[in-house]
């Protein structure tokens, strides 16, 4: 191989590894249907979306996992051993309906919060008993159920009537 050819190959290798080449590659737009930028929970694999609760004029922000399918809703927080202070899980309903949850295979106490058709909290079952088969029901038709770490609603002053908003 000639010295000229070796020099040309070396120049190509250097150009391919330069920051400019990386910047050009990263400037390429992602396809419109790309999942890049969607937050996915590292344990459950569920999509994560922002949620706020407005309680007594104060807005509390959470990142919640969305349990959208029947299978995801059946799994919920079963077997999970950690929930952060500003994390939760939302269980949306396709149509408003009476909802009921239990704590089977759930090792942590939860606050189970039922959200009515007006996006306001119907009722809260606070500090539910881990592993319990007791049924915790909504006080009326719910469009969603929110689960937070047990005791969190009381800590933040969250009560029935408070407004809950999240990205669908």
User: Considering the domain boundaries, does residue 13 fall inside one?
Assistant: no
pLDDT score of 33: 35
User: Considering the domain boundaries, does residue 15 fall inside one?
Assistant: no
User: Considering the domain boundaries, does residue 107 fall inside one?
Assistant: yes
d(CA 74, CA 91): 10
User: Considering the domain boundaries, does residue 38 fall inside one?
Assistant: no
User: Considering the domain boundaries, does residue 143 fall inside one?
Assistant: yes
Q: Three-state DSSP class for 55?
A: strand
pLDDT tens profile 42-98: 999 999 999 999 999 999 999 999 999 999 999 999 999 999 999 999 999 999 999
User: Considering the domain boundaries, does residue 112 fall inside one?
Assistant: yes
User: Considering the domain boundaries, does residue 140 fall inside one?
Assistant: yes
- Count of structural domains within the chain: 1
Nearest to 164 by CA among 108, 114, 120: 120
Q: 168: pLDDT confidence band, cut at 50, 70 and 90?
A: confident
d(CA 67, CA 164): 16
User: Average pLDDT in the 103-120 region?
Assistant: 98
pLDDT tens profile 123-160: 999 999 999 999 999 999 999 999 999 999 999 999 99
Q: How far apart are the first and last CA of the chain?
A: 61
pTM (two decimals): 0.78
User: Considering the domain boundaries, does residue 21 fall inside one?
Assistant: no
**Per-residue pLDDT at 22 exceeds 50:** no
Residues paired with 90 in a beta bridge: 66, 146
d(CA 51, CA 30): 27
Domain hosting 162: range is: 48-166
Read off the CATH number of the domain in which 55 is found.
Answer: 2.60.120.1140
d(CA 50, CA 39): 10
CB 136 within 8 A of CB 101: yes
User: Average pLDDT in the 10-23 region?
Assistant: 36
């Amino acid at each position: 191989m000639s010295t000229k050819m070796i020099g040309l190959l070396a120049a190509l290798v250097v150009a391919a590894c330069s920051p400019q080449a990386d910047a050009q590659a990263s400037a390429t737009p992602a396809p419109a249907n790309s999942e890049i930028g969607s937050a996915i929970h590292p344990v459950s694999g569920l999509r994560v979306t922002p949620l706020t609760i407005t309680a007594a004029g104060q807005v509390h922000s959470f990142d919640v996992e969305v349990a959208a399918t029947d299978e995801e809703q059946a799994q919920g927080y079963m077997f999970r051993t950690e929930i952060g202070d500003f994390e939760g899980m939302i269980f949306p309903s396709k149509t408003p309906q009476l909802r009921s949850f239990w704590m089977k295979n759930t090792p942590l106490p939860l606050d189970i919060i039922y959200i009515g058709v007006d996006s306001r909290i119907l009722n809260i079952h606070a500090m539910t008993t881990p592993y319990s088969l007791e049924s915790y029901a909504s006080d009326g038709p719910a469009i969603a159920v929110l689960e937070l770490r047990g005791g969190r609603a009381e800590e933040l002053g969250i009560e029935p009537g408070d407004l809950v908003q999240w990205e669908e």
